[in-house]
Structure 1
Amino acid sequence: MNEVNPPKMEYNDCSDENRFYWPPIKAIEKSHIPSPPVIVPGGTIIPTINRYFYIAPQNISLTNGVTLPANLFSDDNGNSVTAFKIFNPNGYVNLYINAMMQEGSIYTVTPTSLILPPNNATIFARTPIIIESLGFTMDSG
């Protein structure tokens, strides 16, 4: 039986013509980098946090989008609410569905409702929906 030996191929990745040489990197002294300006507020920043809770009693189809009115939600003390406190411009709102923070682009919160646009998804019964509204005020005293 004759064995056929394939031709031996050699390729040298380390030859100078196949190398790329990065230019030398020069370190600069820290003293040449200017420090950012220091801004010292003339008071105290006071955060205010409001949370609103709703547990879906049945499946919520998002196929056509959904608007959940504020009066379906309760506050931290279990009291029904009629509106969400929105801090604009000195604040922001987070939405949690089943304890997972949601992307800001997939919902809208107004003082009177939570709006979820059309999506091929379902929020299942007994899923907690939490809105967290944070605002900041300045106490200059």
Structure 2
Amino acid sequence: MKLNIKDAAQERLATKIPAGSVVLLSVDDGSNKYSTVGGSCAIGDKFQLVILNQRDPDYPIEVENNAGLNLWTSTGETTYFDNGLTLNFRGNNLVLSDDGGILDSAVSINDYRDKQPLTREDREAQMKTLGNQIC
């Protein structure tokens, strides 16, 4: 799997992601331990970059990229990606797209180097609280 990171996005990421960090390209729809956003309106159209200190075995697929990031994803995420996967920075937002069009016009960056992901139970409770505010 390959991700082309445009120059503008590389500049932005350099200010947000410390050198040597592990980075995950992950959906942000409540389906994984790094996501508290949930609801049917977020499935497959909300993505995030998650910063970690070490690899997560749940994300075994290395994402080749031109920015030198130690970037990984999971098989679940790859179902949403097509050829020409690109990350750009436009309008003060990170934009993820592929040959089919824009996948997410506001990719978030979430730093988990100094915190633990929520448990499934805590995530579900938070999603219930936020559910009527998100969709």
The TM-score, its normalising length taken from structure 1, stands at 0.23
- Which is helix-richer, 1 or 2? 2
